[in-house]
Structure 1
Amino acid sequence: MTFGRVQQSDGVPKRVLVLGYARTGSTLLSEIINLHERVLCLFEPLRVAESNRIDYISALKDLNECRFNYLFETIDEDGLATPKKGFFLHVISDTLALSDGKVNFTELTNECNNSETVLVIKTIRLNFKWETRKFFHQNPHFKIIHLFRDPRGILSSRSDTAELINKTGLHSICDIISKDVQYGLSIRRKLPQNRYLLTSYEALIYSPINVTKKVYNTANLQITDHILHKVYNLTRSNTTIIGGYNSSLPRNGTTNVLRWQKTLSNKNLNKLISNLNCRYLINLAYKEDFQQL
């Protein structure tokens, strides 16, 4: 197969939305998906839509149709595009991204339209609302991989811990995530099998191979032993995959999962668990199989 050429096929386009929240591990999960050579991953394109006052659903429709103009500052006569600040993508072809940071816009569009390419959209900006449900019902080829985290882990990974606790900001975060998770589980029962996958950062770290297999299965991606080996190293050691923005800071996953035990005071923990939705997420985050819910 030659990269950069559109496959003449009637195949259904492959689209995956990685839906996460700040400090929940969505970049790590995207890195894991990026290990596959046929993934074209857009990192936070809705951030650009937001700054350009484009509503999220309109932005998703554009991305679904491989219309990427709003993600770039300029596109010159040679088809070379300069990305807007805050937007990054994982390249699957050496001819797509150039050394000066520009992108071959024609190549990008061709790859998106290639029936073998899986377009992955990673965002922490999208809540499940009525418009979102309507969009996904109208686009049955779209898959959702929904990632959340034990709120104690979210709290311990942020620099504004005291402010979040004192102003009940974390309670609001728990309320939003809890409602999204419950909504996601409710629509999963109405959707065809394998269109919605719920998982947690804790599940990803404690069972990286098992979760990766489920993620790849949902995204219709073939997994290899080579990919699984990289996943194990990425989640178990202090190393990371290098690839432009796509790289997170070096991490030891199991240490991060339990970091809250050393950093959060009993007073802050008691304030957190006083919220019903925070307790719901804490109990849910360590489930072994979310598909049984």
Structure 2
Amino acid sequence: MKSTRRYSYFSILIVAVFIFILIRAPYENNTVDNSSHYFAKPLHRSFIAMRGRLFSKNKLDPMSLQQNSSLNAIKHKGIHILAIGRTGSSFLGQIIAQHPQVFYMFEPGRILDNQRKTPDQKIYKNPKNLVNYVDMIASIYHCRFDNMKSYLKAIMQLSFNSRLQEIPDLTEKNLCRPTRGVSRRKQNESLSTKCEPVSRELTHKCQNKTFTVIKTIRIHNITNFTKLVNDDDVDFKILHLIRDPRGMILSNLRAWHRDVIHAMNEEHRSLFDANDLPSELYEYLNNWCKDWIENADFGYSKIPSSQYLSVRYEDISLSPIESATKIYAKLGLGALTSDIIEWINNSTSGYKGGSYALSRNSTLNAEKWRRSMTYELAERIQEMDNCGKFMDVFGYKKVKSPEELHDSSLSLIGKYSKSSFKARKNHKP
């Protein structure tokens, strides 16, 4: 009797240890810190590693289970839009978000940065927070949200309209309920719609879509995604967005430098001049040009051609349907549906809103900056070492006079040849 009871206790202990290892395994050796997030392994991979530890004496190869597992038959597909602010990334993200099988997230880092009290803690300024953010992004591509407390807390406090921008899938009827006595139209225009907590729903929504798409402007170095490019569990692709630095910096001034706008109004000026850019903004622009050249060089020379695509903002603006068709095909999204084509046409035929509007006349907007800039400012940007090279590499024409700058019949968007970069090497970094 005692022997039987002792055997039962031993069996219970073995089961308890087994369950403990299974629960703990996804986060083993992947912790960042208490204020950050985990880059959790997919559960089946953790089970494989745990199985190898338990049965290593029998010399079983734990990877044989992974290779034969049906769990690996279908990979989740991840698409990352690598961009910087004021390059049209929000519109590009929305083009892809229209696909019915896309789970889309708009710049998760914005919510995190909004919670930080000092500028030096912002993601792009703080190496530690950047590493944590990259790990968080990687977890999202595995549909793992269980250790993102600060982010989830902020998401749960968002209104209907804010959720619609950040994560469109979190505005469905089962997650957001109307406030009594308020019409649906008014709810869409106000903060009155009540939304449920999202921690469980995020994983569910992500797993039930074929593609996970994230747009970021806070990760400036493509090498941060090397692990994802090599990840066996995610079919990962990078969509690299390019824009003429002259147009990008002018949009930057309009949106984020109200002091410059105020000074121009005081002086009754309508054109931005070379003196309107502070020295740190010239340095920022020159560094961005350098980073984007290196990113494209790395993308074309180190990443398999099936996993990297660069696109220019101007090409999307001038030919939105044609560009979207090519992007969808390259990313494996299939053909544009009539609903997506209708959305693109409606979003590119007019102008609604201010600096962050997604609806505007895209053809007129492609080179709109030329009408708002002095030749001296354009020349200053063109003569910068990195930005001059950037324009040559990505096919942007330099102007040689004020007349050329303001002549709308002369396009400054030339041909973009990928041969400008190193020869492709179809192996992973």
> What interval of TM-score do these two structures reach, taking the shorter chain for normalisation?
0.7 to 0.9
| Alpha-carbon distance change, 255 to 168 in structure 1, aligned in 2, over 3 angstroms | farther
TM-score normalised to structure 2 length: 0.56
Partner in structure 2 of residue 41 of structure 1: 104
| Alpha-carbon distance change, 36 to 103 in structure 1, aligned in 2, over 3 angstroms | farther
Once the two structures are TM-superposed, the CA of residue 253 in structure 1 deviates from its matched residue by 1.3
RMSD (CA atoms): 3.2
AA at the equivalent of 1:145: L
Query: Which structure shows the higher strand fraction?
Result: 1
Once the two structures are TM-superposed, the CA of residue 213 in structure 1 deviates from its matched residue by 1.7
Once the two structures are TM-superposed, the CA of residue 214 in structure 1 deviates from its matched residue by 2.4
Partner in structure 1 of residue 347 of structure 2: 234
Is 1:22 the counterpart of 2:85 in the alignment? yes
The answer to whether the 8 A contact 1:66-1:112 is kept is yes
AA at the equivalent of 2:139: D
The 5 Å alignment of 1:51-130 reads: 51=115, 54=129, 55-68=132-145, 69-70=148-149, 71-73=151-153, 81-83=156-158, 88-91=166-169, 94-95=172-173, 97-98=175-176, 99-114=193-208, 116-128=209-221, 130=223
| Alpha-carbon distance change, 249 to 234 in structure 1, aligned in 2, over 3 angstroms | closer
Once the two structures are TM-superposed, the CA of residue 292 in structure 1 deviates from its matched residue by 5.1
Per-residue CA deviation, residues 47-70 of structure 1 (Å, 9 max, x unaligned), is: 334556742222122212223334
Higher relative contact order (CA 8 A, sep 6+): 1
- Structure 2 gaps, min length 5: 1-70, 122-128, 177-192, 258-271, 397-412, 421-429
Measure the CA separation in 1 of the matches of 2:174 and 2:316.
31
Once the two structures are TM-superposed, the CA of residue 108 in structure 1 deviates from its matched residue by 2.2
| Alpha-carbon distance change, 96 to 37 in structure 1, aligned in 2, over 3 angstroms | farther
Is 1:165 the counterpart of 2:277 in the alignment? yes
Measure the CA separation in 2 of the matches of 1:111 and 1:228.
25
Measure the CA separation in 1 of the matches of 2:304 and 2:297.
13
Per-residue CA deviation, residues 178-226 of structure 1 (Å, 9 max, x unaligned), is: 4233333333333333211101110111122222122212332122341
- Larger Rg computed on CA atoms: 2
AA at the equivalent of 1:66: C
Measure the CA separation in 2 of the matches of 1:259 and 1:217.
29
Q: Report SS of the residue matched to 1:41.
A: strand
Partner in structure 2 of residue 210 of structure 1: 322
Per-residue CA deviation, residues 131-170 of structure 1 (Å, 9 max, x unaligned), is: 4334433466211101121111112222236676241513
TM-score normalised to structure 1 length: 0.79
Partner in structure 1 of residue 246 of structure 2: 152
Partner in structure 1 of residue 24 of structure 2: none
Kindly tell me the number of residue pairs found equivalent between the two proteins: 274
AA at the equivalent of 2:168: H
Moved more, 220-229 or 282-291: 282-291
Q: Percent identity?
A: 25
